[in-house]
Structure formats: structure tokens, C-alpha cells
Amino acid sequence: MKIGIVNDMPLAVEALQRALALDPELQVAWVAGDGAQALDACAAQRPDIILMDLLMPVMDGVQATRLIMAQTPCAIIIVTSDMDRNTSRVFDAMGHGALDVIDTPRLGAADPHAAAAPLLRKIRNVGWLIGAYDRGRPAQAATAAQPLAAGATPYLIGIGASAGGPPSLATLLGGLPADFPAAIVLVQHVDASFAAGMASWLDEQIALPVRLAVSGERPQPGTVLLAGTDDHLVLHNDGTLRYTREPAEGLYRPSIDVFFNSVARHGRAPAIGVLLTGMGRDGALGLRAMRERGMLTIAQDRASSAVYGMPKAAAELKAAVEILPLDRIAPRLVAALGTAASVQRT
């Protein structure tokens, strides 16, 4: 695969080049010192993946990501050396289509292979998503429907998102009232090291409290929980959330499919599944499993999706009961919960 590097720091560029050199299948296509140079480089030679810095002269990484995705779209991974200071920029860039985020590899590490491994894993995962690698294994099958378990948490809304997800989640959740009477669980494709930053960022954007999900806890009405590790988050038949490494071979970690399938098995109706913008197909099979259990399932529409991959897969599988623009999903959830509450009172 051909990789473009956008970074104005010579030491960071050197660290990235050394990391890429450890994988013979990767080739540096070009290096740009700022976003403006990256636009020109993309127009002349579009790479398979861009490693994009955030803070640069002339044009920063957020603006560069927005323009590249509009003019010469390709896969973008944000590479930053200071996540704590750049949290909002990271998620702004992901809103414009960046697929993932990773720390800059440390130059001069005692074990260069270990230092480069997280970045190389991200690149390989994105390579699978864009078809540059043959994954060599069949797609995960939908879980067969099983009886709903008594005692699970009612009014559970599961939301999955990937590329473009953070600002889309902020928009959707920002449309919900502070007294929204449902538990909400989010599975966003983001590296575990950045999950806490994303939870804090979302917590500042919306009225509902947002925090990382803790293994063994029960989702509570009016609280938003975000999957916070590289393991999969699942709902157990006792209504608690747990983290699990299985399936170990899944491309996506955490996997939306794994979570949605667990809700289909163990969730008490009414449970709702929502699949938002993202590249690939994760979540589509799990959403279909939820629909097959009679649950309301919603997929974001093409026009409002930053990347119309996962919602498109859901539409093709007829996994979504409704396909809605982003700004209509929150009102639909409010209406759905109001209807369910009315039915329960009668």
C-alpha cells in the first residue's frame, strides 16, 4: 500500500518512516509539511492511506481532512503526539471522514517493532476495510434468535458508529432531552487509548452524562455509556455489561455487530438499535439480528452520512426498519420511547 505522510515535524516524519519500513508491503508515496501541500500531493498521486498530523502551518489537519475527503477522498488516520490537548480536533477530523486515530510512534524506542506495532495494526485494519488486503476469512454470521431473558435492562438504545461518528453522535445525542428515559450504550470504532478523551468530549457537548462503560454494571436510564477498551462490549442475560476478547479474530475491536447481537439475545423489549456513519460493514448483521427479534432498528441515510458504508450495508440487508437523516433520529427516539411508555402504562 502507498502511504502519504502529512506532518511538519522532522522527528515525527522520521519516526513514521521507520515504522512503515518495518512492513515490506507499505511504501511511502510522499511527505507533505502541511495541509495545503497534502491537497496538492493527493491530486497528483492519491495514496491508499494518509497519516495526518493535526497542528501544522498554512492548513491544519482538520481542514486538510475535510478538503481531501471532498476533493480526492482516501482513507485517513490521524496521528498525534498530544491527544489530551487535541481531543476536539481529533473528533472534528473524524467527523470529516478520518477513520481512526493513533499516537505518533516513539523515535529511538528500545524495541522499534513494539513501538511501531499499534500504528502498523491500524494501517492493516484500514487496509482490510478499503480492500487493499484480503481478509481471508468469511464475514461474521448473524446470531440466531433466542428467547429474550427476563430481568434485562428495559429501554436500552444501542448506537454504533465509525468514521464520522463523533460529531454525528454529538448531534444525535444533543437532540435528546436531559430527562431522556432510556439507557444508551455507544460502540464507536476508536482506539482504547482515546476512548476516555472521547467520552469527556461528548460529555461536554450534550445534556446527558457520558462516561466509559464499566464491566459488570447495568446501563441506567438517562446515562450514556461508551465502550472503552479494545475488547468487545456485550450485554449479558442478567442485564449487565461485560467486556470480552471473543471473537478474537474480528477485524473491528470493539465490534458493533458483537454488541448488537448480544442485545438481540438478551435485551428486553423495547430495545432500539441505531447504526450511524462509518466505513465497512460492522453493525449491519447485528442490526438485522435485532430487527428479527422485533426491535426497532434505524440506519442513517446516505445524504447525512460522512461515510456511507455501514448504514449502506444495513440497508442492503434490510436490517433497518427505518432509514433516517441524522437530524431526525433523536426526535424518532423520543417518540419511540414516549410510545413505549404509554403502552406500558395502559
- Active-site positions? 162, 189, 282
Q: What is the DSSP letter of 275?
A: E
Q: How far is CA 48 from CA 63, 212, 218, 272, in A?
A: 19, 33, 41, 36
The alpha carbon of 67 is separated from its chain's Cα centroid by a whole number of angstroms, namely: 21
- Using CA of residue 149, residue 153, residue 154, residue 160, what is the dihedral sign? negative
Looking up cell 501544522 gives: 56
Cβ neighbours for 273, distance < 8 A, ≥ 6 positions apart = 157, 158, 159, 160, 260, 263, 286, 287, 290, 291, 295, 296, 297, 298
Cβ neighbours for 314, distance < 8 A, ≥ 6 positions apart = 275, 283, 284, 287, 288, 297, 299, 320
Angle, helices 165-174 vs 326-345, to 10°: value is: 40
| Residue 321: other Cβ atoms inside 10 A | 16
